[in-house]
Structure 1
Amino acid sequence: MGHLTVYLVNAFTEQGKGGNPAGVVLQADGLSDAQRLAIAQSVGFSETAFVSSDSEADFALSFFTPTDEVDFCGHATLAAFSVMFEQGLITHGHYTQNTKAGRLGVTVGANGRIVMAQNLPQYIKRFDYATVAPLIGLDVSILRATQLPVEVISTGLPDIIVPVAAGHLDKIKVDQQALSDFSREHGVIGVHAFELSDASGVFTACCRNFAPLFGIPEESATGSASGALACYLNQYVYPAKSNRFVFEQGRAMGCASRITAELESDEQGVTRLLVGGMAQITGQRGLSV
């Protein structure tokens, strides 16, 4: 292919700041998986998205961490569609993307806000507090005090949703090797820990995400896990038919991000799940492949 451009994008920004960095490569049709992985390693962000043409959807997207391909990535999806909008390749409206997690809808607002549909939740399995607490360096009582379950939920990627008593989220100290081994053993991406916010504030919950198995010690905005957390909260904390949540993530990294999640549900469970936010291009890099 020769020379290509990688856009550097912060996704889920809060008033233009913070967010989670992602790489975006447009017109990636000619790239092999090995080339995509090498590019993701060179960029060094938690994920890089590759946009290709598709016969069934508007676009095909693939996602690579520095170590592996993953089926889906929320913040990199947001980054990719934001770049296409900024570059004038798409206008505001509705689009579809084919991913390894399935075909998913994406809506681009006139202001550039991206809202993406996610898969309906799979509630996979639970762990007891004593199993998970040592992985994140907290006493078991800090998890138990929430009286909420520790549960693996997937809306595209399986994450362990871990409730933490208020005031303790920033005290997490992950055992990176132990969590990596545990994630491999149980077929999960990592831990998405949260503490519920004061009801008077703008945020529903504050969150932290750790996926060391995939080369991500911590990341500042996780779209797929935010969808899973919305379903978790709908199940156990706020059981309304329709819910809108606002999550803060990345504060402990000095990189606060804002992620919105909206869902609709009926007696059978969640029927629709949308995760959205803003993104900002911060630069670009040229690479030879």
Structure 2
Amino acid sequence: MQILRYTAFSTDPTGGNPAGVVLDATGADDAAMLAAAADLGYSETAFLIPRGPGEVDVRYFSPLAEVPFCGHATIAAAVAYARANGVGPVRFHTSVGPVEVTTVDDGEITATLVSVPPKSAEMTDLDALLSALRWSPDDLDPALPPRVAYAGAWHPIVAVRSRERLADLDYDFDALSALMAAHSWTTVDLVWRESASVFWARNPFPPGGVVEDPATGAAAAAFGGYLRELGLVEVPATLTVHQGDDLGRPGVITVGIPADPEAGISVSGTAIAMSDPSDSAE
């Protein structure tokens, strides 16, 4: 397998969220995909198995396990696929359902995915989550209540009152990892609202074997669904989510929230190769 190295939600190879992309993983078994993802060490690697023009099966692996869906690796894979096959629509067949992706080239290739229909649920174990984060209830923004949201993977949504609180993140890795495993949470989406349409986010990701995900498309989609379901944003809406700045890897995620309560959430961004394909792992 040739593994391409891309970073998503940035036009700078030193920004955004790195992802591995395998454009043709035909014949690779689970063990081979997991080993490749672990060897690469990025938070996720996307493995594509072509079905035909504009149709691919895709699986996502962190260094520790397979994950049901990954937004940043989808954006990275879509841009890599477009560079190899041309821009346009492509359907990603994922374990959570089909995800429609479109790429356009306006001087740089931008990809937009449309998530599966989102949903949310009441938060359980909030006290344990705050304890693992080493945060207190006083840190929380009462206008954005804690909830668990889904748009292909489950993410607790926890909003804080200040940018300073979001920047000061020093969580208990083992405690948070155990709690997330018990609830099958993928990342924790920590957010701060700068304005009606601008947010900042951080995403601890201990189940993937990394401390933090620099830019998380799946969580951004789940967050968009959460905002619509709770009536916390006027729809239709376009949001900007800044993520990765506190890690020195700034990225920008654009989230589109249609008014239809059953419609998927769109997530858009750029991606750029971090190395020449000839240097990629085999």
2:88 aligns with 93
Find the aligned partners of 2:15 and 2:201 in 1 and give their Cα distance.
14
Cα shift readout 1:137-163 (whole Å, capped 9, x = no counterpart): 2222111x4343211111000010111
The TM-score, its normalising length taken from structure 2, stands at 0.92
Find the aligned partners of 1:187 and 1:75 in 2 and give their Cα distance.
19
**Among 137, 143, 148, the residue aligned to 1:152:** 148
1:263 aligns with 257
Q: Shift in Å at residue 57 of structure 1?
A: 6.6
Q: Could you tell me whether the CA contact under 8 Å between 2:119 and 2:226 is conserved in 1?
A: no
Q: Percent identity?
A: 29
Q: Shift in Å at residue 20 of structure 1?
A: 0.1
**Among 203, 221, 229, the residue aligned to 1:227:** 221
Find the aligned partners of 2:58 and 2:24 in 1 and give their Cα distance.
10
Q: Secondary structure of the equivalent of 2:223? A: helix
Structure 2: unaligned runs, 5 residues or longer: none
Q: Aligned residues, how many?
A: 277
Relative distance call for 1:186 and 1:58 in structure 2 (3 A) is same
Code of the aligned partner of 1:95: V
Find the aligned partners of 2:63 and 2:13 in 1 and give their Cα distance.
26
Q: Shift in Å at residue 6 of structure 1?
A: 1.1
Q: Could you tell me whether the CA contact under 8 Å between 1:263 and 1:270 is conserved in 2?
A: no
Find the aligned partners of 2:143 and 2:267 in 1 and give their Cα distance.
26
Q: Shift in Å at residue 214 of structure 1?
A: 2.0
Q: Secondary structure of the equivalent of 1:146? A: coil
Cα shift readout 1:227-276 (whole Å, capped 9, x = no counterpart): 0111222334644231111100011101110001101124xx24231101
Structure 2 residue 80 is matched with structure 1 residue 77: no
Find the aligned partners of 2:242 and 2:231 in 1 and give their Cα distance.
18
Structure 1: unaligned runs, 5 residues or longer: none
1:282 aligns with 274
Code of the aligned partner of 1:109: V
Q: How does 1:230-245 map to 2 (within 5 A)?
A: 230-236=224-230, 238-245=232-239
Q: Secondary structure of the equivalent of 1:116? A: strand
Find the aligned partners of 1:259 and 1:157 in 2 and give their Cα distance.
17
Give the number of the structure whose residues are more often strand, by fraction.
1
Which aligned segments of 4 or more residues in structure 1 are displaced greater than 4 angstroms? 14-17
Q: Shift in Å at residue 85 of structure 1?
A: 1.6
Structure 2 residue 39 is matched with structure 1 residue 42: yes
